[in-house]
Amino acid sequence: MTVRGINQSGLKISNRNKVLRILRQGKSVSRKDISDKTGLTKAAISGIVSEMIEENIVIEKGSRETGTAGRKKIILELNKNYGYVLGVSITDAHLICVISNVLGETIDVLYHELEPDQLNNMDNFVDLIIEKSFYILWKNSYPRDCIMGMGIGYIGSLDEIKIGVIEDSVRQRLHIPVLTVNNVKALAMSQMDLYYEETSENFLFVKYGPGLGMSIVRNGSIIDGVNNKAGEIGHTIVDINKKTTCRCGRSGCLESLSSEKGIVKEIEALGEKYKDLIIDKSLTIIDYEKVNRYIKANDKKILDIFEPRYNYFAKALANSVILFDPEYVSLYGNVFSQPELFEMISNLVNAYLGPKTKVIMTLSNLDPRNSAIGPASYALRELFYHSGGYQQQIMEEE
């Protein structure tokens, strides 16, 4: 047996973490720039940078003028090809696998449509994750030992699939660190880490797809709640008089009234003219670009389907804004990429908030088709940046 990894003091890891984050966020960064931003001495920064250059985490990329005659600053960059992480997103209908580098840039993404009841057989499902992980590595000619770890994201409704069993099994099979995380929380982290210039430390991240989820970000941290369920906007009550059923056990909750599954059923009932709005019935994939065109044309049948649902959604979102007072709301999902739909929802939220309360509604920078970037970013955050670039200790067979 061999051990990969080094035990280091918490202070050293913290200092390296600061350096890594500045290098990730900055361009044309010098040792002096890092010293100025971190408050660490030039000698301390010089030692950390020298160590990271030796480890091939940091590379020197030329120089720039300092404004002082005869002096130049050596420019530093993170070696984006130092290592990679895998991200896996599990939904009711898809398994999405992504590989990204230490800058969080997506190298490749793989989509796999799940068969009915495929999640019910844990052994076969773990085999599927392993198969897709090895395939994406093979496709991009990456050996397994260049992978620092994996993040596995899951939607809230999949709590019952024993995600811990999947985590342990994949770790034992791939011999890499594996972390599991709620998909919406992971996406909120990804929004903060990958788009730091456009992201504050106080916002609501809202995902709308087959299900509805929200993460509450306060002072740069995600609020989890006592039962790890803070932000479940989809299960807030918006109409107690509606006798709907939901996995949460409540009547009249937002998800039961606004879900895409319900939308698909109602579009189907409209007949042949509107059938092209459903891209895939089993996966509840809706062509929102075409929906957008119908709404723009004031098609009453389509408006009758979407307006009530988005009214419910806007009401819940407005209440969340009132409760948490965010700087802005970041909206994630295919539906929000369509101008008329985005405007409809934004106008409804502001109408509920009234003239004295305003909030900025923004479209998330993240690709709504690639939810696996969330768990990949989470793995990168925990296994690379928070560890100061030191590899986690793991046991491997010789």
The domain that holds 27 is classified in CATH as 1.10.10.10
Domain that holds residue 226: 199-363
Say yes or no to pLDDT of 295 above 50.
yes
- 206 and 309 in a single domain? The answer is yes
Task: Give the total number of structural domains in the chain.
Answer: 3
Residue 6 pLDDT grade (very low, low, confident, very high; cuts 50, 70, 90): very low
Distance, in Å, from the CA atom of 298 to the CA atom of 149, rounded to the nearest integer, reads 49
Quick one: pLDDT band at residue 5, thresholds 50, 70, 90?
A: very low
Task: For residue 232, tell me if it sits in a domain.
Answer: yes
Residues 243 and 358 in one domain: yes
**Is 246 domain-assigned?**
yes
Of the pLDDT bands very low, low, confident and very high (cuts 50, 70, 90), residue 162 is confident
Q: Where are the alpha helices (DSSP H) in 67-203?
A: 122-139, 163-174, 183-194
Give CA torsion, residues 106, 393, 186, 104, to 10 deg: -20
Whether residues 342 and 251 share a domain: the answer is yes
Name residue 253's beta-bridge partners. Answer: 237
Residues 241, 267: one domain?
yes
The pLDDT tens digits of the residues spanning 206-217 come to 998 777 899 999
The partner residues of 181 in beta bridges, in order of sequence, read 153
Residue that terminates a domain, selected from 57, 78, 99: 78
Crossing angle of helices 122-139/163-174, nearest 10°?
A: 50
Identify the pLDDT of residue 2.
35
Helix, coil or strand: residue 79: coil
Q: Specify the residue for token string 């793989």.
A: 110
| Bridge partners, 2 (sequence order) | 396
Token digits for 171? 């770790």
Same domain for 319 and 250, yes or no, is yes
Query: Are 148 and 70 in a shared domain?
Result: no
Regarding whether 340 and 289 lie in a shared domain, the answer is yes
Q: Which of 15, 50, 78 is the last residue of a domain?
A: 78
| Mean pLDDT within 229-247 | 81
Check whether residue 227 and residue 347 sit in a common domain.
yes
**10 vs 214: which has the higher pLDDT:** 214
Do residues 66 and 121 both lie within one domain?
A: no
Average pLDDT over residues 36-61: 93
Strand, helix or coil for residue 4 = strand
pLDDT for the residue 227: 82
Decide if 194 is inside a domain: no
CATH number of the domain at 176, please: 3.30.420.40
In this prediction, residue 106 has a pLDDT band, given cuts at 50, 70 and 90, of very high
7-18 average pLDDT score? 84
* 193 within a domain of the structure (yes/no): no
Residues 238, 149 share a domain: no
CB 176 within 8 A of CB 147: yes
pLDDT at 70 over 70: no
Question: Do strands 147-154 and 178-182 pair parallel, antiparallel, or not at all (unpaired)?
Answer: parallel
Q: Are residues 232 and 255 in the same domain?
A: yes
Are 255 and 243 contacting, i.e. CB atoms less than 8 angstroms apart? Answer: no
Pairwise CA distance, residues 19 & 385, whole Å: 9
Q: How many CA atoms lie within 13 A of 136 on its CB side?
A: 25
